Amino acid sequence: MAKNLGRLILYGVSIFSRALSQAIRNQPSAFDNGNNHVGGGGISNKVSSDILSGMTLEESKQILNLKSFDPKEVERNYQYLFNANDKRNGGSFYIQSKVFRAKERIDLQSPT
């Protein structure tokens, strides 16, 4: 019994180690895509803003129901949706958080 258990463990470890080594070989290096060049960066400001905020400008625009990025319209829609989804009014904290993140994403992009 112990002999079979030992073989089973050894077999499992060998499968795991082969899979891990194959995954490491297939994983592209972080430095192969040009991120290590001076001034390159490899990631545009738009993409880095998307990564930081977790959503794109288009998603933010949809969440806040915007047709343009007019600051007054952004603020008006943000206030309305944020207050409408307040937990004290029976709203959803999750949706309120999405509204907040959408405005935060738009604020990251705007020059002011």
Q: How many CA atoms within 13 Å lie on the side-chain side of 23? A: 6
DSSP single-letter state for residue 79: H
Residue 112: per-residue pLDDT: 56
Residue type, 11: Y
What pTM value is reported for the model?
A: 0.54
Residue 103: per-residue pLDDT: 93
The Cα–Cα gap between 13 and 48 comes to 39
Instruction: Compute how many other C-beta atoms are within 10 angstroms of the C-beta atom of residue 60.
Output: 25
**Residue-by-residue pLDDT tens, the chain, 112 positions:** 888 888 889 888 889 888 888 888 777 654 455 555 555 555 555 566 556 667 888 999 999 999 988 899 999 999 999 999 999 989 999 999 999 999 999 988 876 5
Tokens (6 digits) for 61? 């625009």
